[in-house]
């Protein structure tokens, strides 16, 4: 009898451990549809980050939906929207497939290219599908459209950055800062031939002119360009002191290699510069990436101590994938899942309208600072202080490391000039 009782209690103990986990696994999963351009950095890093967050949440018991624990499940479809020549309709098909075929409850991640995301807005609204954009798409048009027609587009949120704040809040002050530090006041703009980059180059050039800088050249390069010699020679000839770069194509690495080889005496100041963002960039260029500056839009996409969660996230990503968060779209995609979990739990349901209300009331400290959405436009509220809002990150490659140089509240170093620019 004694032996029987022992076995009975042991069995009970095992069941007590197994049943809740089994219960979560058995519960109907909440499907997160992720339309991402997976062949490109802003797609694959977002996919990895979403999966990391989902794994963490599921391992901790899942999402509490009105008293029932349910796991997240991720469905990814490649939108190919960052690939040259792929029509926007491909991304729309991917979104539609996620909604109708994969039965997604929520959309997180993309579409990644602004043009595709703008085109997908009506489709998402038609299905009352909550979408949290977390990578790519920097156009201010996105949240302006939400603000102008709130009732129709209230299901759409963006947890990553947008270009107006990036310009006024980060890039312009950072440029002015480095200008004052090293007495630089002329720039040569080199951007990719895509909507966001053309607009960014034009607007930033205009702002800097008003601030007393000279724009000595402006080149727009087709996606896939592999030779920048003529532009660099021109920049050198016109005595540009800063190269303002905006490119999301991997070939931007070529530009930086050429810049290094030709010893162009102008600081390569990247806004969005996909190739330089990746941790593997240093090794791939054999150290020629030294001094390249790039923005990764949100803190946490490169190591820093913006919040207590930042390095926790960086280390978790490193443990799972063997490298640091790779660039823009990583931290924000990770946070999109956590913010959604938080909103669903507060709403106690998956009902779109109720989750929208909960998302609008989001106020949590995340990987890149305080996370709140503007209640009218559903754009994340940015700041240069992580206690006040979502902070960005501009870093410079220094001795093989991505050293955060802006904003000052989280900076771990200062911008350095290459030896051939030092007087």
CB count in 10 Å sphere of residue 346: 16
Q: What is the DSSP string of 265-304?
A: SSEEEEEEEHHHHSTTHHHHTTTTTTT-EEE-SSTTSS--
Q: Pick from 66, 87, 206, 222: which binds another protein (CB under 8 A)? A: 222
The correct pick among 219, 351, 352, 357 for binding another protein (CB under 8 A) is 219
Within a 10 A sphere around the Cβ of 323, how many other Cβ atoms? Answer: 12
Closer Cβ to another protein, 162 or 326, answer by number:
326
Characterize 181-211 residue by residue with b for buried, 16 or more Cβ atoms within 10 angstroms of its Cβ, and e for exposed. ebebbbbbbbbbbbebbebbbebbbebbeee
Distance of closest approach, residue 110 Cβ to another protein, in angstroms: 16
Binding part of the chain for another protein, among 63-71, 120-128, 170-178, 227-235 by CB under 8 A, reads: 227-235
Q: For another protein, give the closer residue by CB, 115 or 234.
A: 234
Burial degree of 268 (CB within 10 A; 0-12, 13-18, 19+): buried
Binding window for another protein (CB under 8 A); candidates: 54-62, 169-177, 220-228, 367-375: 220-228
Q: What residues between 240 and 299 interact with another protein by CB under 8 A?
A: 249-254, 257-258, 261-264, 274-275, 278, 280-281, 283-286
Smallest separation, CB 289 to another protein (Å):
10
Q: Is 73 helix (H, G, I), strand (E, B) or coil?
A: strand
Contact region with another protein (CB under 8 A), list: 3-11, 69-77, 219-227, 292-300 = 219-227
Tokens 């349910």: give the residue. 70
Q: Whose Cβ is closer to another protein: residue 10's or residue 84's?
A: 84
79 binding another protein? (CB under 8 A): no
**Site size for another protein (CB under 8 A):** 43
**Between 79 and 258, whose beta carbon lies closer to another protein?**
258
Instruction: Retrieve residue 206's tokens.
Output: 């205009």
Q: How far is the CB of 253 from another protein (least distance, A)?
A: 4
CA distance 296 to 195: 19
Q: Which of 66, 103, 227, 361 binds another protein (CB under 8 A)?
A: 227
Considering the complex, state which of residue 170 and residue 251 has its C-beta at the smaller distance from another protein.
Answer: 251
Could you count the other beta carbons within 10 Å of the beta carbon of residue 400? 12
Interface with another protein (CB under 8 A), residue from 2, 4, 230, 419: 230
Distance of CA 217 to the CA centre of its chain: 29
What the block records as the tokens of 195 is: 């909507």
**CA-based nearest residue to 137, from 78, 196, 50, 79:** 196
Contacts of another protein in 178-197 (CB under 8 A): 193
Residue 165 in the binding site for another protein (CB under 8 A): no
**H or E segment at 203?**
helix 195-210
CB of 247 to another protein, least distance (A): 10
Cα–Cα distance list, 238 to 3, 59, 231, 266, 419 (Å): 91, 58, 10, 11, 20
Report the DSSP beta bridge partners of residue 31: 73
Q: Is the peptide bond before 2 cis (omega within 30 degrees of 0)?
A: no
Residue range at the interface with another protein (CB under 8 A); choices 104-112, 200-208, 229-237, 305-313: 229-237
Based on CB atoms, which residue is closest to another protein, 42 or 106? 42
Between residue 29 and residue 68, which ones bind another protein under the rule CB under 8 A? 39-41, 44
Q: Which one of residues 86, 195, 203, 220 is an interface residue with another protein (CB under 8 A)?
A: 220
- In the complex, least distance from residue 233 CB atom to another protein, rounded to whole angstroms: 5
What is the β-pairing status of strands 30-36 and 72-78? Answer: parallel
What tokens appear for 22 in the block? 């089994």
Taking the C-alpha atoms of residue 119 and residue 136, their distance in angstroms, rounded to an integer, is 14
Burial class (CB in 10 A: 0-12, 13-18, 19+), 14: exposed
Task: Summarize as ranges the residues that interact with another protein (CB under 8 A).
Answer: 39-41, 44, 83-84, 193, 219-222, 224-227, 229-234, 236, 249-254, 257-258, 261-264, 274-275, 278, 280-281, 283-286
């Amino acid at each position: 009898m004694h032996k029987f009782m022992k076995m009975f209690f042991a069995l009970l103990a095992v069941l007590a451990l197994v049943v809740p986990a089994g219960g979560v696994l058995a519960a109907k999963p909440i499907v997160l549809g992720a339309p991402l351009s997976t062949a490109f950095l802003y797609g694959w890093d977002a996919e990895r980050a979403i999966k990391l967050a989902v794994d963490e949440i599921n391992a901790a018991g899942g999402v509490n939906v009105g008293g029932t624990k349910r796991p997240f499940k991720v469905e990814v479809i490649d939108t190919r929207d960052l690939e040259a020549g792929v029509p926007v309709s491909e991304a729309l098909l991917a979104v539609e497939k996620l909604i109708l075929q994969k039965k997604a409850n929520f959309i997180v991640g993309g579409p990644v290219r602004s043009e595709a995301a703008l085109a997908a807005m009506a489709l998402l609204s038609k299905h009352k599908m909550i979408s949290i954009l977390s990578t790519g798409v920097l156009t201010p048009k996105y949240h302006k459209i939400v603000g102008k027609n709130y009732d129709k587009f209230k299901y759409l949120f963006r947890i990553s950055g947008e270009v107006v704040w990036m310009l006024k809040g980060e890039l312009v002050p950072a440029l002015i800062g480095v200008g004052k530090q090293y007495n630089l006041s002329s720039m040569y703009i080199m951007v990719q031939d895509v909507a966001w980059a053309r607009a960014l180059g034009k607007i930033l050039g205009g702002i800097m002119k008003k601030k007393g800088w000279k724009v000595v050249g402006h080149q727009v390069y087709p996606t896939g360009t592999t030779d920048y010699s003529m532009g660099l020679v021109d920049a050198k000839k016109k005595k540009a002191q800063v190269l303002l770069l905006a490119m999301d194509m991997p070939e931007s690495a070529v530009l930086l290699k050429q810049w290094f080889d030709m010893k162009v005496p102008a600081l390569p100041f990247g806004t969005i510069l996909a190739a330089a963002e990746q941790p593997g960039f240093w090794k791939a260029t054999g150290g020629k990436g030294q001094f390249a500056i790039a923005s990764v839009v949100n803190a946490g996409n490169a190591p820093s101590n913006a919040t207590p969660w930042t390095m926790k996230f960086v280390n978790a990503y490193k443990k799972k994938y063997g490298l640091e968060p790779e660039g823009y779209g990583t931290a924000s995609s990770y946070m999109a899942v956590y913010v959604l979990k938080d909103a669903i739990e507060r709403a106690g349901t998956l009902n779109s309208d109720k989750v929208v209300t909960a998302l609008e009331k989001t106020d949590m400290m995340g990987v890149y600072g305080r996370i709140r959405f503007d209640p009218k436009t559903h754009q994340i509220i940015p700041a240069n202080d992580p206690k006040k809002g979502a902070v960005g990150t501009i870093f410079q490659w220094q001795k093989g490391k991505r050293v955060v140089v802006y904003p000052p509240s989280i900076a771990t170093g200062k911008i350095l000039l290459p030896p051939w620019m030092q007087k």
